[in-house]
Structure 1
Amino acid sequence: MKYSHVHYRLVVISCAILLLVGCKDFLDLKPKGKDIPETIDHYNGMFNSTTLTSITYSLVTELGTKLGENILYNIFMSDELTATQSSISYLDFKMNQAYGWEGKIFSEEDNACEWASIYQQIYTFNVIINDVLDATGGTDKRKLELQAEARVNRAFRYLILAQYFGKPYDESTSASDLCVPIIEEGDMNLKNLKRNTVREVYDFIIKELEESCPDLVESTNHPLRIYQCAGWFFLGRAYWMKGDYENARIALEKALKCSEINATGLQLWDYNQMISQWGYNPSKPHAWTSGFPANNTGANKEVIYNYQYAISTISSATGQPKLFVKDEYMDLYGEDDLRRRFFSNKATSGTPLEGYRRLPCRTTFSLGADMTDLYLMLIECQVRSTDLSIQNEGRVNLEYFRRHRMPAETAVIPDDIDNQEKLIRFVVEERLREYMMTGIRWFDMRRLWNDPLFQDLKSGYTHTDGVNNYTLTEDRLVYQIPPKVLVFNENWLDNK
């Protein structure tokens, strides 16, 4: 189909300039003799590419497409992880740097996917946003829907960039804390770009989402596309990351309401019913290596919008595990908590290991939108409310969520969770139980860094390799700008 060629041309263009690294050679947006996006079908088709559904940097050349970076290094940086003298040797240099919370992860040769692939995708969305209203064919309403979808996609990606390259949102410093450049043009010849502040980036994200969500389509047939449930989800996440839990709650409640009319059949998996169907065998629990439904096919009904990444670098069916879960974090699971079944202290062969590894029955997670995160964010916002009736809604929703992860009789909130502070902490623990050893915890560590309720957690932000010990410091809550980017932006002040 013609629109597939259009998308390919755009990827070629965006890769050629390495997005923000100052390449002098470029193709015009309407190159002579090339396919260009002109019709509404072209623009609609530009969304339908798997290159937009993951953080994977792909270099496109005349010889074809070469897969580049696809490892997210935050999966090595969360506090539940530990290593031994034997396991640490299986980490490569960049993994070791991330695990030790070192500043220098990337070299000048590296195309860091946390930067390059996201700006690649932003370029595509900029083209749609700026030109789709002039497309031929289609109604004005349809053009606005596609523009809104592109704006939400772009805003969501800026939210991810802010988590890697900007400090956690702090109202007192956000106007001076540097983040990433906001680029709205579909022009690859931009120069003299500057790093916007954390406040400017969040203000941009929220404005884009507030304005665009009402124009999104109500439903979709595949989690490749963004629709109202996903849009309100991302608005809620932006407020939630910012620490504005009341506005986050309002947006997330809209997202939950929209999830009820979705054509993909969104639901929370009931592990009580599904875990055996996915291949778990209690006689050989350590040998569970496959079965969890895939994100990118629509089989995983918890996925609202898929933006996936792999954790196979720390969750492999063969070989020595690189990292384990600290014993005290494994103790957060009750014996009846079925999420505990995703871990084992034995190799696939049954040989005892030095600690608990994550089993490779599920190796793909999403930074996009899913029902799990929707419930857990909403519940946290609800239990943080000063309105007791909303707090009680949070309790009800929390027990509803837990009944999908363990037998009903053990899903009840413990009796000693008897005040608001304990309840908030219990919900944050629930997030840890859900996302153990997936890298998601890293974003919570950032978000809660300045939260008065969680200052005691910092004492546990340590790693060991069996010989050396490492402690997370505030400077390392952000990535340094990849050197390959700084080479072409020498006037930028790098993160410490």
Structure 2
Amino acid sequence: MHKLIYILLSCITLGLISCEQYIDITPTGKKTVDSTATYYDLIVLPNRCYYPSAFALLSDNTWAKESNIIGNEFISWDGINMTFNEAADRKELSDNNLYANCYSYILRSNIVISLIDESLGNPELKEVAKAEARIFRAWDHFILINTFAKAYNPATAATDGGVAIMDKYDLEVVPVKSTVAEVYDFIIRDIEEALPYLQENPSNVYHPSKAFGYALAAKVYLFHHDWEKAKNAAEESLKLKSDLIDYVALENNGGPLSDNTYAKGGNPEVLNYAYMGSYSDNPTYCYGMISPELVQLFGENDTRFTMFFRTTGNSPYYFDEGSGAALWNSSITYSKFQYMAVGMRTAEVYLILAEAKARLNDLDGAMQALCDLRVKRIKGEEAVPPQPSTKEEMVRLVVDERRKELLFGFNRFWDLKRLNTEPEYAKTQTRRFPLVSTEVPSQTYTLAPDSRLYVIPFPKDARTKNPNLTLNTDE
């Protein structure tokens, strides 16, 4: 019991300290470790951070400064991933705490789910708290399964190695690795049990709303190939929250440097607060360089590029001039515009709806959902492209839009993995590197759709502590 009290108070203290500059969540009156309100506060974690270093440069959206890669092709995640080096030994590398962070967040959720019923307080608040904890527990398991295992494939998921499911508070348990199918079943069950109890307007933005719950359901169903359920969940989320920032109008108003309406806490698209590597969430310093291929995909009239990226005038410490890549504008930071690279936004829900409708062969509906977003992002007639005539073409159009809208973080890496399970959408990545330096010869590197690099090995310390964690790759 003393160990639990220490964990509980430590978790709450960290959450409150991180949060106090944004919101006062401490209720008046006496609180004890046995109160329902204490457990409910434990759900709040404003500085949820997820580090993409183990896989960021496996994405065709991302680029790197050449000097950070040359000479590191066998010894760092960036060097290995930029050169698609399957001969390198990844087993000894740290994942920069992504694995540990996810399970520490799951522990917080499990403390609430397992123990709140014995606390003193409002029974209705207990149900809300358990629902919110289940949604976050599902979110963190979803991150783990899509990073450290193969993508969900209906033909192989029942036998593909997954991750350990942590479904209750138990400090003594030694987890056993489940299959990909079992982990998805667990995630879906958590979400479906939570949805009826989530609030439309929680007490503060760090508690998950019903709109986020449905958005996460839509994302999970999409990855699980449940197209009808993905469509329905996306529609339910958008009924509750459908805000889209008009980037075109924002650019006409001088952009974020002139209009900081959407700075920290002001972005109406944000559904949950989760950060890429640091609380400031400034992509300049955390894989904020996009590839020459993506630069060309944007074109000249897409405000997502023209407002937020620079191809010249960047600091040479972070950027190679002449590479054809582009770097996030360092002056547009968290204090000017809150992008939210990891947390879900309403823009993603429109894209999930568009893809789900395309998969169901509702091409008109898919086009409408897609253009609802594009008209807020792209200037002129390009905002409404010609409608594809086949399901496959429509899906590819949506996927290209996902590349441009859901930058950084996890999304493109996960999309490549899931789409690579379908021959009609699989992609063999190719990149020429280096493009500027003459220190080493330029080469063309390729990454096959079934490459083992797409499955990140469990961290060494996790494998050492738990022999049940056998690798999901052939390394």
Fold shared by both chains (TM-score > 0.5): yes
Note the alpha carbon deviations across 1:38-82, whole angstroms, 9 max, x for none: 11110121122324x222xxxxxxxxxxxxxx4543222201344
| 2:313 match | 347
Range with greater deviation from structure 2 (38-47 or 428-437): 428-437
1:83·1:465 contact (CA, 8 Å) conserved in 2?
A: no
Q: Is the aligned partner of 1:331 residue 2:296?
A: yes
Q: Is the aligned partner of 1:407 residue 2:379?
A: yes
CA distance in 2, matches of 1:313, 1:450: 31
- Shift of residue 436 of structure 1? 4.4
| 1:356 match | 325
Q: Is the aligned partner of 1:271 residue 2:242?
A: no
Note the alpha carbon deviations across 1:338-360, whole angstroms, 9 max, x for none: 12212222123799543222223
CA distance in 1, matches of 2:55, 2:32: 37
For residue 421 of structure 2, the aligned residue among 429, 450, 455 is: 450
- Shift of residue 463 of structure 1? 6.0
1:177·1:198 contact (CA, 8 Å) conserved in 2?
A: yes
TM-score by length of 1: 0.78
Give the partner amino acid of 1:470. Y
| 1:381 match | 356
- Shift of residue 468 of structure 1? 4.4
- Shift of residue 99 of structure 1? 2.6
For residue 57 of structure 2, the aligned residue among 73, 76, 92 is: 76
Q: Is the aligned partner of 1:117 residue 2:101?
A: yes
1:82·1:465 contact (CA, 8 Å) conserved in 2?
A: no
Q: Is the aligned partner of 1:369 residue 2:344?
A: yes
For residue 492 of structure 1, the aligned residue among 455, 469, 473 is: 469
2:270·2:345 contact (CA, 8 Å) conserved in 1?
A: yes
| 2:274 match | 307
Give the partner amino acid of 1:422. E
Q: Is the aligned partner of 1:171 residue 2:167?
A: no
- Shift of residue 450 of structure 1? 1.5
Unaligned runs of at least 5 residues, structure 2: 15-30, 436-441
Aligned length: 430
Distance 1:489 1:198, change over 3 A: same
5 Å-filtered alignment, 1:66-465, equals 70-82=51-63, 85-86=66-67, 88-89=69-70, 93-101=76-84, 102=86, 104-105=89-90, 107=92, 110=94, 112-138=96-122, 140-191=123-174, 193-220=175-202, 222-259=204-241, 267-275=243-251, 276-279=253-256, 293-294=262-263, 297-310=264-277, 315-316=283-284, 325-341=290-306, 342-348=308-314, 352-359=321-328, 360=330, 361-362=332-333, 365-386=340-361, 388=362, 391-414=363-386, 417-436=388-407, 439-455=410-426, 457-458=427-428, 460-462=429-431, 464-465=433-434
Note the alpha carbon deviations across 1:207-242, whole angstroms, 9 max, x for none: 111111011112235431112111111111111112
- Shift of residue 423 of structure 1? 1.7
Distance 1:143 1:472, change over 3 A: same
Q: Is the aligned partner of 1:45 residue 2:41?
A: yes
CA distance in 2, matches of 1:292, 1:75: 30
Distance 1:258 1:85, change over 3 A: closer
- Shift of residue 413 of structure 1? 1.9
Unaligned runs of at least 5 residues, structure 1: 14-34, 56-69, 261-266, 282-289
Alignment RMSD, CA only?
3.3
Give the partner amino acid of 1:299. G
Identical aligned residues as a percent: 25
Note the alpha carbon deviations across 1:354-412, whole angstroms, 9 max, x for none: 322222325763433211111111111112213x4xx3222122112111002353311
Distance 1:491 1:348, change over 3 A: closer
Name the SS for the 2:232 alignment partner: helix
| 1:23 match | none
1:100·1:463 contact (CA, 8 Å) conserved in 2?
A: no
TM-score by length of 2: 0.81
CA distance in 2, matches of 1:487, 1:414: 54
Distance 1:365 1:90, change over 3 A: farther
CA distance in 1, matches of 2:297, 2:95: 37
CA distance in 1, matches of 2:128, 2:444: 51
CA distance in 1, matches of 2:282, 2:398: 26
2:341·2:407 contact (CA, 8 Å) conserved in 1?
A: no
Name the SS for the 2:340 alignment partner: strand
- Shift of residue 204 of structure 1? 0.5
- Shift of residue 414 of structure 1? 2.4
Name the SS for the 1:487 alignment partner: helix
